[in-house]
Amino acid sequence: MHLGQSREGNLKTLFIIVKMPTVCLYLHVHQPWRIKRYRHSAIGKDSTYFSDEGDFDTNNEKMLLKVAEKSYKPTNRVLLELVRDYPEFRLGISITGTAIEQLERFSPETLELFCRLVDTGKVEILAETYHHSLAFFYSLEEFERQVELHRQKVKKIFGVGPRVFRNTELAYNNELGLWADKKGYLAILTEGWDKVLEWRSPNFVYSPKGAKKAKLLLKNYMLSDDIAFRFSQKTWEGWPLTAEKLSGWVSALNGNGEVVNLFMDYETFGEHQWEDTGIFSFLRALPGEILKHPDNNFKTPAEVAEHHASRGELDVPHVITWADTERDLSAWTGNAIQQDALSQLFSLEDKVYKTKRRDLIENWRKLTTSDHFYYMCTKWFNDGDVHAYFNPYESPYDAFRYFMNVLADLKLRVDA
Amino acid sequence: MKILMFGWELPPHNSGGLGVACLGLANALVERGEEIAFVLPKRLGNYKVPFKIFFAGLPEAGLAYGRTAFAEGLMGEVEQYARFAKKIALENRFDVVHAHDWLTFSAGIAASRASGRPLVAHVHATEVDRTGGLGSVSGEVFQKEKEGFEAASKIIAVSLRTKSILTGFYGINPSKVEVVHNGIDVPPGPAETDEGLEALKKSGYKIVLSVGRITLQKGIDYLVSAAAEVLRARPKVIFVIVGSGDMEGQIMSQVGRLGLSGNFLFPGFLRGRDISGIFGSADLFVMPSVSEPFGLVALEALAHGKPVIVSKQSGVAEVIKHAMKVDFWDTDEMADKILSVISSSSLVRLMAENGSKEVLSCTWAKAAKEISRLYLSL
């Protein structure tokens, strides 16, 4: 059992006067513009990089429609029911600009369902980079541009303004905490990672080091991953997971935890956990079970930040993320080809903007999406754990090849 | 256990991967405590091996390759070898007969019958591979192979690909076939380089290497087509084709016709330090085989710390993840992969680093362990 993340809470935090546990459910929606199988021979001739219309998993429309049918639509319908049936139920959603674009283009009816959810007033939309990028670590200027683009898009589509920030992959360090504070965000989300928390529990609200106002909400990865990863794992001692069981674990924190942050991908429902695992019945039953205990309630991330005081500053000098066992950026920036691709991409930034050409700038930005670099990851390639590693390309080396071919074409266009 | 093993050649007097594989495997089996008596058709020189060798003393027997299956007298040699095998089987005691490829199957069958010991047929290549997996299969050789497969108690295939050929083309029951992938003993010591190639590299050339017999099976003609595309995009590339074979003339005229003679080197068949030096100086290794039961040479390239592109029609593609893979016929894709590797030092570094690590787990010891287990199951 990891320090600070026992389901029973942490004795050392008992001295704090504790209120009832709030459940903060937050779901993340993202689709990248996958690069097609763009060969060297296309350089200088073909400037459509994201337009695979074939059978490969690089066909963005095909992928979007699949996930919309399996996950987005059924999940949205369940959430709409829940919001209607349980007035206290609420949640946070983040949805990247690239995902919104694809929904607009390929499945407007799915986007409409998201809008209906936001219109209930019970669903808060979070701020993030439009392109699901790691720009914060490469170019603050570009990062801020993408956050602003996202804000505008969310305003236009959903008519709301985000007040809480989540960075791509919940990547976080002190610097980003201070940035969010300076920009006036109520809170920023990241992983409740033991190495950072040490003896502390993730089930309290903290604040970034040196922040004046912004809070830090930390994912309770134990309970979140019970749903997101372990739900259908028959070898897990907690299987089968029922809403009642999870709610019991949450309620057991009553007295030594204030907020249980359940953060996960939207695709958990229907895509990572298929419908036949019972994931939708679980979701349907969850609010009722949680609210059976009179001390429990639901809050959105902004509400959590507003209602709960910080229990202390958290010092995060090195980047943490919600990814892998390492909780770092190594899946995106860990190997030589990823670093090469990122550095060549960002070294093109000024030249791209100087052209003032929207098409070039837009292409370049789409290339900043973190997924492209994730596909180049070789670390799981070693131990044969292919299941943990979805890749629309034949190999990480091929992912790099197509990316660099596209970048070479973009360079030609920029220099022209 | 005592194993009577029939081969056709052993290094350093070998013509290709068959001899290398037999030696690597026999050494590893000896290491495990198996007792090997290896039979060769003829002594071609001195051999430094940790096991006993019997020589059948066939007067004309040459190397396994470098002559066609229809070479005059070859079938006669095969039969002669079988007669000697019977003699040796009656004069010696052993538990298992293990025969490598069709040239030795008649000998294996004869030894097995004479002794009543079970036969293991080890398949490194089939006639189906040798004819490119497509066209007509030579009746005589195909027949010899089929006889061997049918007489064997167990068949060892060097890849899943080979297993499927055995079941598909030869009608062998899949439960009789076990897949044991080849291994490699990674050579210790400093990497050698080739002076001439190093000079070319200094003047900005990239070196793309392929090693193998120049035959239909090896697909060098597809590499030449890909090279034409590579050179259109990037003129300073030298393709080094090491090996010899019956398609040599055809390949050279293809290169000439395409006007690529200045970008191709054909050093012929090389061994020892010469080939190590060329491996050492290469930037990339490509194995474009049309039908490759395994493809040991790709493991050698990885062991030399080189990035590797292998055809999907190869057994080695089943065991190596840290390589780029391509359909041999997709020369446009092959060209693209070649270009991407030689254009990116980060890609070269990462593929080489991961590949040379991965190849460490492809050992003969692992193969020998599986084969020991198979002997026990007979």
B158-177 pLDDT, tens digit each: 999 999 999 999 999 999 99
ipTM of the complex: 0.88
Over residues B141-152, the pLDDT tens digits come to 999 999 999 999
Which segments within chain B are labelled E, that is strand? 2-6, 35-40, 52-55, 96-100, 119-123, 154-157, 177-179, 206-211, 237-242, 264-268, 284-287, 308-311, 324-326
Q: What is the CATH number of the domain that holds B369?
A: 3.40.50.2000
Find all residues with CB under 8 Å of B345, minimum gap 6, and list them.
none
Cβ contacts of B42 within 8 Å, gap of 6 or more: B55, B56, B57, B58, B59, B61
Number of continuous H segments (helices) and E segments (strands) in chain A? 17, 10
Instruction: Tell me the chain B residues in contact with residue A394 when contact means C-beta distances shorter than 8 Å.
Output: 324-325
* Single-letter code of the amino acid located at A84: R
Amino acid at B136: S
Tell me what pLDDT residue A301 has.
Answer: 98
Q: Is B318 on the interface with A (CB under 8 A)?
A: no
pLDDT category, B133, cuts 50, 70, 90?
Answer: low
Across chain B, mean pLDDT equals 93
Which pLDDT band holds residue B136 (cuts at 50, 70, 90)? Answer: low
Residue B62 has pLDDT above 70, yes or no: no
The one catalytic residue among A101, A128, A142, A169: A169
Q: Rounded CA gap, B38 and A185, in Å?
A: 77
Q: pLDDT by residue (tens digit) across A378-395?
A: 987 765 454 445 789 999
Provide φ and ψ at B268, rounded to 5°: 85, -165
> Both B244 and B121 in a single domain?
no
- Best mutation site among B334, B354, B357, B361 for testing chain A: the one with the most A CBs within 10 Å? B354
pLDDT for B73 equals: 78
Chain B CA closest to residue A398: B324
Does residue B75 surpass a pLDDT of 70?
yes
Q: Is residue B206 part of a domain?
A: yes
**Out of B233, B336, B350, closest to residue A401 by CB:** B336
The pLDDT of residue A258 is above 50: yes
| Share above pLDDT 70 across residues of chain B, in percent, rounded to a whole number | 94
Q: Is A315 on the interface with B (CB under 8 A)?
A: no
Q: Please write the tens of the pLDDT for every residue from A317-370.
A: 999 999 988 999 999 999 999 999 999 999 999 999 999 999 999 999 999 999
Amino acid symbol at B86: K
| Contact across the interface for A335 and B350, Cβ inside 8 Å | yes
Do B210 and B159 sit in the same domain of this protein? no
pLDDT at A11: 47
Q: Which of B102-111, B129-138, B280-289 is least confident?
A: B129-138
Q: Which region, left, alpha or beta, applies to residue B45 given φ > 0 means left and ψ of -120 to 50 means alpha?
A: left
pLDDT given for residue A19 in this prediction: 55
* A395 interfaces chain B, CB cutoff of 8 Å: yes
Q: How confident is the model at residue B232 (pLDDT cuts 50, 70, 90)?
A: very high
Asked if residue B242 belongs to a domain, the reply is yes
Is residue B31 assigned to a domain? yes
What is the reported pLDDT for B271? Answer: 80
DSSP B195-206: HHHHHHHHTT-E
Give mean pLDDT, residues B54-62: 78
CA angle at residue A228 from A329 to A187, to 5 degrees? 60
Q: Does B333 touch chain A (CB under 8 A)?
A: yes
Spatial separation of the C-alpha atoms in residues A194 and A350, rounded to whole Å: 39
pLDDT at B237 over 70: yes
Predicted pLDDT of residue B65: 58
The yes-or-no verdict on residue B66 having pLDDT over 60 is no
Residue B190 lies in a domain: no
Question: First vs last Cα of chain B: how many Å apart?
Answer: 12
- Nearest Cα of chain B lies from the Cα of A336 at a distance, in angstroms, of 5
User: Does the beta-carbon distance from A336 to B233 stay under 8 Å?
Assistant: no
Give the C-alpha separation, B18 to B126, whole Å. Answer: 12
Q: What percent of chain B has pLDDT over 90?
A: 84
* Count of pairs with CB atoms under 8 A, one residue in A, one in B: 64
**Most confident among A4-13, B58-67, B240-249 (mean pLDDT):** B240-249
Q: How far is CA B148 from the centre of its chain?
A: 20
Residues near B168 by beta carbon (within 8 Å), at least 6 away in sequence:
none
Q: How many angstroms away from the CA of B4 is the closest CA of chain A?
A: 37
Over range B362-367, report the average pLDDT.
96
Look at residue B130 and tell me whether its pLDDT is greater than 90: no
Q: What is the pTM of this model?
A: 0.91
Same domain flag for B266 and B290: yes
Check CB contact under 8 Å for A401 and B340.
Answer: yes
The residue-averaged pLDDT of A236-261 equals 92
Residue B286 sits in the same domain as residue B174: no
Q: Scanning every residue of chain B, which has its alpha carbon at the shortest distance from the alpha carbon of A341?
A: B346
Domain total of chain B: 2
pLDDT band at A16, cuts 50/70/90?
A: very low
> Is B189 part of any domain?
no
Phi-psi region of B268 (alpha: psi -120 to 50; beta: other; left: phi over 0): left
**Cβ atoms A276, A170 nearer than 8 A:** no
Taking the Cβ of residue B46 and every Cβ of chain A, the question of whether any pair is shorter than 8 Å is answered with no
Query: Is residue B188 in some structural domain?
Result: no
pLDDT of residue A231: 96
What integer pLDDT is reported at residue A389 of this predicted model? 56
Which tokens belong to A204? Answer: 């309290």
pLDDT band at residue A9 under the 50/70/90 scheme: very low
pLDDT by residue (tens digit) across B89-117? Answer: 999 999 999 999 999 999 999 999 999 99
Q: Taking residues B335-360, what's their average pLDDT? A: 96
pLDDT computed for residue A214 by the predictor: 98
Q: Would you say residue B229 lies in a domain?
A: yes
- Same-domain status, B311 and B164: no
pLDDT of A46 higher than 70: yes
Q: Tell which CATH architecture fits domain A16-314.
A: Alpha-Beta Barrel (3.20)
Do B100 and B38 share a structural domain? yes
Note if A169 is an active site residue.
yes
Domain assignment of residue B112, given as a range: 2-183+363-377
Domain ranges for chain A, please list them. Answer: 16-314, 331-415
What residues of B are in contact with residue A39 (Cβ under 8 Å)? 332-333, 336
Tokens linked to A20: 């009832």
Judge whether residue B236 has pLDDT over 80. yes
